[in-house]
Amino acid sequence: MEKITRFGVSIEPDLLKKFDRMMKKKGYSNRSEAIRDIIREHLVIEHVQDPSVMVIGTLTVVYDHHTDPLIDRLLQIQHDHFQEILTTTHIHIDHSTCLEVLVLRGIAQHIQKLADSIKALKGIKYGELVITAKSL
């Protein structure tokens, strides 16, 4: 088990009340767990801002599969980037709308550029990239 370091935090009462409400709403059993997660989250955000670091993440897109030549372009991009795209999941939302999730791994700058190129395709209704550090 990792060694734990204890430290004190000074905080205004109103801010602490808000923090405690948020902590309980999210299901944390104690302040230490909540604070550790907040620190990890901010470390990841800081880490992935470096365009040269290795990241892993997901790109979720919702699109109209009747828009030509969207399907052909998506497949071409996926084949062109087979090293960055680890897998995809395709879900039919209704007769014309699909949701696709691409699991991505690579250099942050390349992953962002790949996601931007997909989100910009005609027929893509919505796209969101979520990236995280491979490790901290």
pLDDT in tens, 87-101: 999 999 999 999 999
Residue 2 has pLDDT above 80, yes or no: no
The CA-CA-CA angle for residues 116, 121, 123, to 5°, reads: 135
Name the residue with tokens 């990236």. Answer: 131
Contact 74, 119 (CB under 8 A): no
Average pLDDT over every residue of 102-128: 96
Alpha-carbon distance 64 to 93, whole Å?
A: 10
* 136 confidence band (pLDDT: 50, 70, 90): low
Q: From residue 25, how far is each of 29, 60, 108 by CA, in Å?
A: 10, 27, 32
Query: Across all residues in the chain, what is the average pLDDT?
Result: 93
- pLDDT value of residue 45: 87
92 and 64, same structural domain? yes
Closest CA to 135 of 43, 38, 5, 32: 43
Alpha-carbon distance 114 to 48, whole Å?
A: 15
Q: State if pTM tops 0.85.
A: no
**CATH label of the domain that carries residue 81:** 3.30.70.1150
Closest CA to 55 of 46, 64, 65: 46
- Total domains, the chain: 2
39 and 66, same structural domain? no
For residue range 35-94, what is the model confidence (pLDDT) as tens digits?
A: 999 999 899 888 888 888 999 999 999 999 999 899 999 999 999 999 999 999 999 999
Q: From residue 50, how far is each of 32, 37, 83, 132 by CA, in Å?
A: 28, 21, 20, 12
- pLDDT value of residue 47: 86
39 and 79, same structural domain? no
Q: Which domain holds residue 20?
A: 13-48
Which carries the bigger pLDDT value, residue 47 or residue 1? Answer: 47
